[in-house]
Amino acid sequence: ELKVEQNPLFLSMQEGKNYTIYCNYSTTSDRLYWYRQDPGKSLESLFVLLSNGAVKQEGRLMASLDTKARLSTLHITAAVHDLSATYFCAAPNSGNTPLVFGKGTRLSVIA
């Protein structure tokens, strides 16, 4: 059964700094999702990574996927307060099967 692990689970960053969140998954999966969740809100889709070596960037966030290592990273560049949220990675066993989520990384960006 697919397991998804994220680290760190909690991250406190200073504004302007860079950091990386890691997502490991236990069995082969053909895609990897990153979502953002604000307190009390639902999940906002950030990235879908569909192939080995895929890299996607949106603003200060960049996600990458290494299917051989079963690892995805979410890199934050020059953090700003608005990025404070919980970030989840998720993967299906295959195709459109239900997503298995990590526990999330709670990011707090402080001045």
Partner 1 sequence: DTGVSQNPRHKITKRGQNVTFRCDPISEHNRLYWYRQTLGQGPEFLTYFQNEAQLEKSRLLSDRFSAERPKGSFSTLEIQRTEQGDSAMYLCASSGGIAFFGQGTRLTVV
Q: What angle do CA 95, 99, 103 make, to 5 degrees?
A: 150
CA 58 → CA 44, 46, 47, 68, 110, distances in Å? 13, 8, 9, 24, 21
Closer of 41 and 81 to partner 1 (Cβ): 41
3 binds partner 1, rule: CB under 8 A: no
Q: How far is the CB of 15 from partner 1 (least distance, A)?
A: 25
Site size toward partner 1 (CB under 8 A) is 19
Residues 30-49 that bind partner 1 (CB under 8 A): 33, 35, 40-45, 48
13 binds partner 1, rule: CB under 8 A: no
Q: How far is the CB of 106 from partner 1 (least distance, A)?
A: 8
Which amino acid would we find at residue 24?
Answer: N
